[in-house]
Chain A
């Protein structure tokens, strides 16, 4: 956990200073330092045979940039993708999320939406169950995603804080992988947005962890940070062996807890 903390927001002001830097061209490539902080000196192999990263070349909206980490191998007990780190190199808090997956999730493919603060490389690093690291990267052109006051209607956003929605994209067949999108209503304040009248930084307030279970079994755990877009969206897979309940527990950086569960069966 310690290395991760080093990459994450300590204080809004510090982050703000970094955001200023991010606007101007930071000369040095930040990736070697980030890589070392996250993975020490472990080698990262070209991950092209394990995962693919789909990201737009140029973001249409820097505050909502869709990204998909596509698993190129199935999740089996013999070999599976254990974790995926999603890193947006030039963001004030580069580590956007760590996805902890299970051999029972069917596919490790994950889709989410992130903020991108400046032109940047985006890295996805998968760790397979044999302990090896596999990395891929893309270059994304976008600017201002972290300081953008993306909230269109702050009243409405706060009114539905913590509300969740689950959308299943494939029919229920016992033993077959199902894809579902989880939406969590949360402003995910970055700490980089300023209130000009009060001259105060709006403090960071963001979804920090998401735990998805099917019955008692853990499907997915996400450690998240300020780079996830407001109203975080995670699309993931799971294999329901039988009818059951999918439950989600969310914790945010203000120590709020939200829980919700949905029945999964022929009707879903």
Chain B
């Protein structure tokens, strides 16, 4: 299947943008569509399509929440939007600065389109984006052609949610203190009770700590109180029950925190901690072998300042 998709991808690159093969999406609630990313690292074959992407259709306009890992994937998401509604995309929301979530942004650029994100997203894109772009070009090759950095023009400060109206349908954008990254933002569709958590929630695939481990645990406690019925995680199934879906990630992050704190207490040096602290017993995660030791390093260099 992936080979087939890759072949379509090549055709799409040769032809005009409108030829792009629409991404597969499922409607998890009326007017709420989700494309489920694959649990893989970035490869040319998956075109960077590893994160969950979504769009919400109001009476007047559409909001896209995360746009994918490449311009090509953004175009395919736009095809999917156009296959389900004739309404225009007016909002493109980035849940954070990681390349699998906002490298499709340029596919939606045009008059009347606003790009929204965390107040700190412009800085994140500025300081880390070029490196992400280099990496993606190296990993995806031709599949990353045309991908460019798009900084948000509407930013949301922590503590001051922004409500955007799609016509009879309001999305509440909320910015969070440093957690998965320094610029995490969630979107809550008040009509369907669907929370778009971005990478504040990983399911099935091992969470990646790129902000603050303790900050993330704190933010999760606040997230759990949000009035949602279902969540669309940044990675994992297209939807899951809220807030039960938080449990496995909470268990992992707590175990990570406790084991790293213990290693620091015992004077175990960073290198040994990264090699020796195992994935928590009884938890099963995809792509844990490489990412867990990296999480140990990130957590260690954070927690040693406590």
**B:192-221 near A, CB below 8 Å:** 210-212
Known contacts: A60-B297, A154-B123. The answer to whether A68 contacts B211 by CB under 8 A is no
Instruction: Given A169-B267, A194-B130, A195-B126, check contact A153 B182 (CB 8 Å).
Output: yes
Does B127 lie within 8 Å of A68, measured CB to CB? no
A13 to B105 Cα, complex, angstroms:
31
In the complex, what's the smallest C-beta–C-beta distance from B273 to chain A, in angstroms? Answer: 9
Q: Bound complex: CA of A235 vs CA of B275, how far in Å?
A: 19
B270 at the interface (CB under 8 A from A): yes
B305 and A165 contacting across the interface, CB-CB below 8 Å: yes
Q: Is the CB of A183 within 8 A of B304?
A: yes
For chain B, the count of residues having a C-beta within 8 Å of the partner chain is 33
Interface residues of A in 124-154 (CB under 8 A from B): 144, 147-149, 151-154
Q: Do B211 and A152 touch across chains, with their CB atoms under 8 A apart?
A: yes
State how many angstroms separate the Cβ of B28 from the closest Cβ of chain A.
Answer: 32
Q: Counting CB contacts under 8 A, is A111 at the interface?
A: yes
Report chain A residues within 8 Å CB of B294.
60-61
How far apart are the CA atoms of A261 and B51 in the complex, in Å?
A: 48
Whether B211 lies near A165 (C-beta < 8 A) is no
Contact at B131–A148, with CB atoms within 8 Å? yes
Nearest-Cβ distance from residue B122 to partner chain A, whole angstroms: 7
B104 is an interface residue with CB less than 8 A from chain A = no
Q: Which residue of chain A has its CB nearest to the CB of B300?
A: A64
Binary contact readout B253-294 vs A (1 if CB under 8 angstroms, 0 otherwise): 000000000001001011100110000000000000010011
Chain A CB within 8 A of B298 CB: yes
B158 to chain A, nearest CB (A): 11
**In the complex, chain A residues whose CB is within 8 Å of the CB of B275:** 56
Residue ranges of A at the interface with B (Cβ–Cβ < 8 Å): 54, 56, 60-61, 64, 66, 68, 111, 113, 144, 147-149, 151-156, 160, 163, 165, 167, 169, 179, 181, 183, 185, 193-198, 202, 231, 233, 235
A-B contact pairs, 20 of them (CB 8 A): A56-B275, A60-B290, A64-B270, A64-B301, A68-B269, A68-B271, A149-B131, A151-B127, A152-B178, A152-B182, A152-B211, A152-B298, A154-B123, A165-B304, A183-B304, A196-B126, A196-B129, A198-B126, A231-B301, A231-B305
Instruction: Please provide the 8 A-B residue pairs with the shortest distance between their CB atoms, ordered closest to farther.
Output: A66-B271, A169-B267, A197-B126, A153-B182, A149-B127, A149-B128, A153-B178, A196-B126
